Amino acid sequence: MEPKMINLTIDNIPVSVPAGSTVLEAAVSAGIKIPSLCYLKGINEIGACRICVVEVKGARSLMAACVYPVNEGMVVYTNTPKVRHSRKLTMELILSNHRMDCLTCNRNAHCELRQLAADLGIDAIRYANDDLRPQEEASALHLVRDNSKCVLCRRCTAVCRVRQSVGVIGCNERGFRTHVGCAFDRDLAESDCVSCGQCIVACPTGALHEQDSTADVMNALLDPTKHVVVGPAPSVRVTLGECFGMPVGTNVEGKMVTALKRLGFDKVFDVDTGADFTIMEEGTEFLQRLSSGGTLPMITSCSPGWVRFCEQHYPEFIPNLSTCKSPQQMFGALVKSYYAEKAGIDPKDIYCVSIMPCTAKKYEVKREEQRMANGCMPVDAALTTRELAKLITQAGMLFEKLPDSEFDPILGISTGASVIFGATGGVMEAALRTVAAKMMGDDNAPLEFHEVRGIKDIKEATYELPGKTVKVCVASGLANAKIVLDGVKSGEMQYDFIEFMACPGGCVNGGGQPLHSAYVRSFNDLRGMRAAALYNQDAGMEHRRSHQSPVVKEVYETYLGEPGGHKAHELLHCTYVPQKRYRT
């Protein structure tokens, strides 16, 4: 059914938009950008900052465009002297309570507040507060919060509550003493935070940023006793270019490899290879559970944010979790076992770095459950996509002019199945490709499973395999995971296999990915464009099933033995345990 259309004029431009649209949304369709600060479409629509005010004919006061609904015949003005004066004064008052060390701020090149001040023509600070000092809270392994730079837009609290259903941060106290924090102003480490980092990419200022590990990595690169190995996650190759002004969804795999080699890494491998091993182990585990009456539904364990959420909020589902380590941890385990043995290097002399879309990976690399039998942790440091961009910039590289290079062999060859891990539904599809092939043969099994693709919050599909009907579910964003888990508990939802990713849209939208303004995030399908680049790469690859990888075949034949076997379990699997809940 066609939606009812509403006709109005904005700055004397006729506009027709669906009923229920806001003035801000209507303005976008007319080619007009109304400035805003607190607005994040579908997440934080509260009209609190008052930057987006407009004049509406007949109204007694200025109206917040982000929450004001359109109606038939409405006349709106977005650029009158009254509107400009109000926005500018409001911004000056916001700046009066913001610590402005812009030159050294981690967000200096990506600060929405700085850009907004420039757009509004603020060229002097009339109400400067020189007494503001840093208010850093850095207890968590993945994140630093500095409330001296917080503008109380509430975008971080909304994404934590609405998208992730975690809600560990909110506004404490009232009036001039209002500030964002955990309940009772506890440290973030003493909360149920799952380390997803969605609050960071939602924040418009430098109030939130990841724990920076670049200095540790540079020290390792300068240490002649260390053999430093690096591997990027699947999604990083289609997001890194955005840090250097390239279009969203540009695949920069070759330039990324060149940059990593020029930074001085001894070996540049690919975490995609680890993802192929994840599918071998996870697919084998699923088939074993399916045939032997094991715990179902089996749930993926690739996303450390999701795993922690399960351990804290739904410990009864821990037996359902796959015992597989994540691709990052499998990659590190193979580097410090198979590769170390092949290269004749003591694993303790290897420093393994991963490039991740995810801040929760910084938490995962510290988990004792991941420690290997040789005493090593699989990965020593996890850098976000943003941190890699920082290292490239500091090294003086013109990224867009770099030639393409290829990953080093041994652990640098992968399949299309591993590439799509970066998108929601990708892990499920990769697993189904191998599971179906194992049951039906490569020539008879389907290669693509379009039903689990796309950015829809919750996707379901049923597949007929020899002797078994398999029902699967894919959900991204922890609020959606909660819906599915509650449905499984009540018996309303019944599945054999479930994929959960903590971040909405999957790793392409992770908390460590490139920063964009709320305007870009609200009115562009970043997740879809990034995911499309991964599927495009997959479509053009020689091998598109994990079990077809020549590396996978060689490592199992010469080192690991059978998938799911004793040595594979020792290296590539782990246990997950209930985590302490901080109930308030």
166: domain CATH number? 3.30.70.20
Predicted pLDDT of residue 336:
98
Question: Are 290 and 428 part of one and the same domain?
Answer: yes
Q: How many CB atoms lie within 10 A of CB 227?
A: 21
Residue labelled with tokens 């260390």: 226
Which DSSP letter does residue 454 get?
Answer: S
Q: Which of 93, 126, 150 is a domain's end point?
A: 93
Domain range enclosing 180: 96-210
Q: Provide the token pair at 527.
A: 């997740």
Average pLDDT over residues 277-283: 98
Pairing of strands 458-465, 468-476: antiparallel
For 254, phi and psi rounded to 5 degrees? -65, -45
Q: Is the pLDDT of residue 216 over 90?
A: yes
Q: Is the pLDDT of residue 113 over 90?
A: yes
Average pLDDT over residues 17-42: 96
Q: Grade residue 254 by pLDDT with cuts at 50, 70 and 90.
A: very high
Predicted pLDDT of residue 126:
85
Question: Are 150 and 163 part of one and the same domain?
Answer: yes
pLDDT by residue (tens digit) across 318-357? 999 999 999 999 999 999 999 999 999 999 999 999 999 9
The percentage of residues in the chain with a pLDDT greater than 70, rounded to a whole number, is 100
Residue 161 located in a structural domain: yes
pLDDT by residue (tens digit) across 86-110? 999 999 999 999 998 899 999 988 9
pLDDT, greater one: 127 or 91: 91
- What string of DSSP letters covers 408-445? -SSS----HHHHGGGSTTHHHHHHHHHHHHHHH-TTTS
Asked if 282 is an active-site residue, the reply is yes
The model carries a pTM of 0.96
Distance (Å) of CA 456 to CA 358, 423, 505, 540:
20, 11, 8, 25
Q: How many CB atoms lie within 10 A of CB 233?
A: 31
Q: Is the pLDDT of residue 584 over 80?
A: no
Residue 502's nearest CA partner among 359, 377, 325 is: 359
Question: Are 175 and 256 part of one and the same domain?
Answer: no
For 407, phi and psi rounded to 5 degrees? -60, 155
Residue 580 located in a structural domain: no
Active-site residue, from 105, 302, 310, 352: 302
Question: Are 133 and 221 part of one and the same domain?
Answer: no
Domain count, the chain: 3
Asked if 364 is an active-site residue, the reply is yes
Active-site residue, from 25, 210, 281, 364: 364
Q: Grade residue 130 by pLDDT with cuts at 50, 70 and 90.
A: confident
Active-site residue, from 210, 253, 285, 499: 285
Residue 584 located in a structural domain: no
Q: Which of 93, 124, 155 is a domain's end point?
A: 93
Among 83-97, 126-140, 141-155, the minimum mean pLDDT is found in 126-140
Q: Grade residue 568 by pLDDT with cuts at 50, 70 and 90.
A: very high
Question: Are 313 and 457 part of one and the same domain?
Answer: yes
| Single-letter residue type at 556 | Y
Question: Are 167 and 220 part of one and the same domain?
Answer: no
Question: Are 176 and 55 part of one and the same domain?
Answer: no
Predicted pLDDT of residue 129:
76
pLDDT by residue (tens digit) across 462-521? 999 998 999 999 999 999 999 999 999 999 999 999 999 999 999 999 999 999 999 999
Residues 6+ positions from 177 with CB-CB distance below 8 Å: none
Q: Provide the token pair at 388.
A: 């890699």
Question: Are 148 and 55 part of one and the same domain?
Answer: no
Asked if 492 is an active-site residue, the reply is no
Asked if 361 is an active-site residue, the reply is yes
Q: Provide the token pair at 209.
A: 């940023």
Question: Are 371 and 324 part of one and the same domain?
Answer: yes
What's the rounded Cα separation, in Å, for the pair 552 and 274? 9
Asked if 285 is an active-site residue, the reply is yes
Q: Which of 210, 232, 250 is a domain's end point?
A: 210
Bridge partner residues of 53 (DSSP): 64
Contact (Cβ atoms closer than 8 angstroms) between residue 421 and residue 234:
yes
Q: Provide the token pair at 355.
A: 């490039």
The CATH number assigned to the domain holding 342 equals 3.40.50.1780
Predicted pLDDT of residue 583:
62
What average pLDDT does the chain have? 96
Active-site residue, from 267, 325, 361, 438: 361
Residue 436 located in a structural domain: yes
Residue 272 located in a structural domain: yes
The number of residues making up the chain comes to 584
Q: Is the pLDDT of residue 128 over 90?
A: no
Question: Are 439 and 488 part of one and the same domain?
Answer: yes
Residue 47 located in a structural domain: yes
